[in-house]
Amino acid sequence: MKRIFFLFACLVNTAIVMAQSLPQKLAAAVQQFEADAQMKYAIVSLYVVDIKTGKPVYDHNRNVGLAPASTQKLFTSAAAFELLGQGYRYKTEIGYTGKIEKGLLKGNLQVNGSGDPTLGSWRWSATKPDTVLNRIIAMLKAHKITKVEGRILLNDSIFSIQPLPGGWIWDDIGNYYGAGCWGINWRENQYDLLLKPGKAEGEATTIAGTRPAFQAEGLVNLITTGKRGSGDNGYIYNPPYATYGFTQGTVPLGDTFTISGSLTNPPLQFSRELEVALTTQKLKVEGPSKLYIEKKANNRNWPAMQQSLGVLLSPPLDSINYWFLRRSINLYGEALIKTLAYEKEGPGATTERGVEQVRNFWQQQGIDKAAIHIMDGSGLSPQNRVTTGALVQVLQYAKTRPWYTSFYNCLPEYNGMKMKSGSVGGARSFAGYHTAKDGNEYAYAIIVNNYDGSAGEAVKKMYKVLDVLK
């Protein structure tokens, strides 16, 4: 009898659960999530909308501004699709001042940057460093230039000389994900630092080299050897334009270990690699390279390009956006937001102007500017605050646009759902689309700030809430 009663109770409970509406199920899941000890002092926001009807399905703190981490990239991505267009390409122009006489360029070789974040990137065959350098060499050879009497001028004035958004923290900016954005970017403004661990835990590590070469010249290495299998706990501290920095933390016992840092002066790194490539091809440049920042600092003359040799085109925007969202590349977001400012206001574009362009655009689409307090284009700043309501409105807007398919394909897949993730100290977030088993399609955003303990455990519990939409 007890067994029969137990089975009957289970059937009743199952029937009750099945009879619950989706809003009720979501409310129960959120209540359970917030009751978890890990969320005792956390703030949770979840907003879900039915795509077909546009009506809210569930709302929990949708108007509370929270740190969104990389889900903030959705604001930048969608605005760039609409304002720049799917086919937008960056154009880096190679040219010269002076004149060419019998193979001698009596003037300067000039590079006019466009802010292209893909220049020198390994993600496309046409943008790889060797490919780019060889194309420039081919331009010179096509004009029968064998020697440059002047120097290489690197004009990155399209963007402000300030490469970093306000609010980025010291622990981030020396590492690859905290790379700044210049008018001439190169190799995604990052390099690999190769470290040889000691023979025992606690021993010093030694720098075995860098890819590309030269960057380690100015690093004081204080990274020590950690436990075997302890992973990457090494940090690089090096601000923009610096010639000297340092490292701290640990890397695991074992073979040579690689951590990635941000280039402190990408235009300078590019010029050095170009000089080496030209020398290899017996194309001599008499004078040292000159950076635009020197003109700004010393009020020197900066000659205008007189003749173009050719243009280096980036991949189209939809391809850039793919990697921007799939791999959450912060540099791409900062380049896009400055590009929006440049296209509206011209050279010297700043992050602040780009942020204002993005906020103005979304205001025109019906999102209150107060719901988008942002400092950058990528979400790395811990000062960013947005609402889940605003994130879902972006997703709803994108669904109506001709570029939606490209935007949707850019989104990664987590937990069997198409959504952008976000991760920054004390904050985890997801925002995206999901089609349930019954065919209903939803747009949703969930943000958790100030959780305690393991980030991995917090994410598992967030997945459990989102599973209700399946």
Where are the chain's structural domains?
21-86+319-469, 91-161+272-313, 170-262
Considering the domain 91-161+272-313, what is its CATH architecture?
3-Layer(bba) Sandwich (3.50)
The tens-digit pLDDT sequence of the chain (470 residues) is 545 544 444 444 444 445 689 999 999 999 999 999 999 999 999 999 999 999 999 999 999 999 999 999 999 999 999 999 999 999 999 999 999 999 999 999 999 999 999 999 999 999 999 999 999 999 999 999 999 999 999 999 999 999 999 999 999 999 999 999 999 999 999 999 999 999 999 999 999 999 998 766 689 999 999 999 999 999 999 999 999 999 999 999 999 999 999 999 999 999 999 999 999 999 999 999 999 988 877 777 788 999 999 999 999 999 999 999 999 999 999 999 999 999 999 999 999 999 999 999 999 999 999 999 999 999 999 999 999 999 999 999 999 999 999 999 999 999 999 999 999 999 999 999 999 999 999 999 999 999 999 999 999 999 999 999 99
The 3-class secondary structure across the chain, one letter per residue, is: CHHHHHHHHHHHHHHHHHHCCHHHHHHHHHHHHHHCHHHCCCEEEEEEEECCCCCEEEEECCCCCECCHHHHHHHHHHHHHHHHCCCCCCEEEEEECCEEECCEEECCEEEECCCCCCCCCCCCHHHCHHHHHHHHHHHHHHCCCCEECCCEEEECCCECCCCCCCCCCHHHHCEHHHCCCCCCCCHHHEEEEEEECCCCCCCECEEEEEECCCHHHHEEECCEEECCCCCCEEEEECCCCCCCEEEEEEEECCCCEEEEEECCCHHHHHHHHHHHHHHHCCCEECCCCEEHHHHHHHCCCCCCCCEEEEEEECCCHHHHHHHHHHCCCHHHHHHHHHHHHHHHHCCCECHHHHHHHHHHHHHHCCCCHHHEECCCCCCCCCCCEECHHHHHHHHHHHHCCCCHHHHHHHCCEECCEEEEEEEECCEEEEEEEEECCCCCEEEEEEEEECCCCCHHHHHHHHHHHHHHHC
* pLDDT reported for residue 16: 45
CATH fold of 21-86+319-469: Beta-lactamase (3.40.710)
* pLDDT reported for residue 10: 46
* pLDDT reported for residue 216: 64
